Each structure stands twice: as structure tokens, then as C-alpha cells.
Amino acid sequence: MPDSEKGLERAVTSLLELKSTSNMSDEHFLIMLGMINLMEILNLLERRVPATQKGEGGRRPFSPADAAPFIGLFGGPKFKQQNES
């Protein structure tokens, strides 16, 4: 299996683990995947723009850990705790 497929497999596995540990619904998971997709599209567009003094570098690739701040928005444990009180 090529390295790119192994990386993809690891990313999908970690996203599914994140979904199950946060008790995220399928609908919210799809919204999160759409946001990840949008972020990656923006990364690709940034790479196509010639580097400028201020914007040199670029963003790092998305990691499933980057989704942690959004979990409460999608009905995860934080959301349930707030609504129970």
C-alpha cells in the first residue's frame, strides 16, 4: 500500500474515532467533514497564490485534532452538559 493511502487511512480512522468519542450525530459529522474540505480547498488556493512578504509560508495540513474546538457545536458532550443544567 503506498504511503499516501496509509496516510488517508489513518486520517479516516482518527476522524471516525473522534466521531465516536464525542457522540456526534451523522449529520453533524458530515458538516464537520464539509468544513474540513473547505479548509483544505483554501489551503490549495493559498498555495497557488505567489508568496508575498506578509503571507509567506502557508498553513499546515488539517489534523483531526484541529476539530476539537468545534465538537461542542455539533452536539458533543459539552453541548449535552450545557443543556442538562
Residue of 10 and 68 predicted with greater confidence:
10
Digit-coded pLDDT (tens) for 21-70 = 988 899 999 998 899 888 888 888 877 766 655 555 556 666 776 666 66
Task: Give the pLDDT of residue 27.
Answer: 92
Distance CA 26, CA 58 (A): 31
Using 50, 70 and 90 to split pLDDT, how confident is the model at 1? Answer: low
Q: Measuring CA to CA, how many Å separate 60 from each of 21, 40, 44, 51, 74?
A: 25, 10, 11, 15, 24
Q: What is the DSSP letter of 68?
A: G
Residue 47: CB atoms within 10 Å: 10
Is residue 75 within 8 Å of residue 37, measured between CB atoms?
no
Q: How many CA atoms lie within 13 A of 83 on its CB side?
A: 9
pTM of the predicted protein model: 0.50
